[in-house]
Amino acid sequence: MIQLAERFQYPDGIKRVTAGPGGEVILIMGQEKTAVLDCGMAFCGDRLVKNIRQVLGDRELNYILLTHSHYDHMGGLPYLKKAWPCAVSTGAQHAQNVLRKQSARNVIRDLSMTAGEMYRKSPQLAEYGLEPEDIRVSYDEANILVDHVAREGDLINLGGLTLQVMETPGHTDCSLSFYLTEKRILFSAETMGCLTPQGEIMMAMLKGYRNTIRSIEKGRQLGPDRIIVPHYGSISDPFKEDYWTFAKAAADECRDFIVNRYDRGMTEEEIYQEYQEEYWHNMIQNQQPLEAFEINGRQIIKAIIGEECTAR
């Protein structure tokens, strides 16, 4: 089991600038350029800008790297683009396509506002120095876009630090991981799991089990010295050696939960009701609105059943 204090211990040049509950944000500072990995939720966008300015000082923010296009990872994007207009938002081709659709932008807006209302009442605010009145429940849709498309193997040179792009679909079609080559640090996509403070790995396989397992194996073969896990933070020795095994086991468990009920003749609606009962526990409730959990849960069930039907 990892000691909680280790979650936010990062090597020099890497800083946690997370502004509120719901999504981690990491600032990476090279000798010449800087990049922020994800940008959290919209409701704490102003605080995120403040946190980054405190670390950067007079330096510019050059890149905004998006691991995928979900509201809890890129809701703060408009606030960063307003503060640093020349910063290049970078994500997958599919993320760029998604964010051009008004229907997708509407979902991002609605979930962002729902999350803001939820967190306004959350005791977690105190951990981030926030008060209920600090929570922004309006939503700024400007600059919700991907400026530059990143693809497998692309390199982002920050000066002394180089990030290699890895396509790791499974959570979404646009999921990207980033490997900091000089320090052998993998900033993993949510495809590879989210670790809770209790040591449980949660999987959200919206694009299927097979894609997820391929991405987990890709991370295992890379063999990083440290893994920065979404919604959690940093893990290294000794846990990192077992992380990939645990991630696969969590994916297997979720898949088996769904397939076993499908084989018993349950409908997708019946499976979802049991899925919610099994997985909608206190940790998840404190991290995302039920609306977001339901959207994800129903998509996971549909994707895994679709795979199973194809295989048969």
Show me where the domains of the chain are located: 4-252
pLDDT, one tens digit per residue, over 12-49 is 999 999 998 878 999 999 999 999 999 999 999 999 99
pLDDT value at residue 4: 44
pLDDT, one tens digit per residue, over 134-171 is 887 677 788 899 999 999 999 999 999 999 999 999 99
pLDDT value at residue 282: 55
Residue tagged 């050696």 (tokens): 241
CA end-to-end span of the chain = 39
Q: Give the DSSP per-residue string, the chain.
A: ---GGGGG---TTEEE---STT---EEEE-SS-EEEE----GGGHHHHHHHHHHHHTTPPP-EEE-S---HHHHTTHHHHHHH-TT-EEEE-HHHHHHHT-HHHHHHHHHHHHHHHHHHHT-GGGGGGT--GGG---S---TT-S-SEE--TT-EEE-SS-EEEEEE--SS-TT-EEEEETTTTEEE--GGG-EE-TTSPEE---TT-HHHHHHHHHHHHHH--SEEEETTTEEE-TTTHHHHHHHHHHHHHHHHHHHHHHHHTT--HHHHHHHHHHHH--HHHHTTS-HHHHHHHHHHHHHHHHHHHHHH-
Residues of the chain with pLDDT under 70: 1-5, 137, 282-287
- Tell me the sheet residues that pair with 65: 37, 90
Q: Give the DSSP per-residue string, 242-270.
A: HHHHHHHHHHHHHHHHHHHHHHTT--HHH
CA 186, CA 180: separation in Å to the nearest integer?
A: 6
Output the six-digit token pair for 295: 């959207």
Task: Give this prediction's pTM.
Answer: 0.94
Looking at the domain 4-252, which fold is it?
Metallo-beta-lactamase; Chain A (3.60.15)
pLDDT value at residue 116: 87
pLDDT value at residue 3: 43
> Which residue, among 76, 100, 73, has the nearest Cα to 175 in the 3D structure?
73
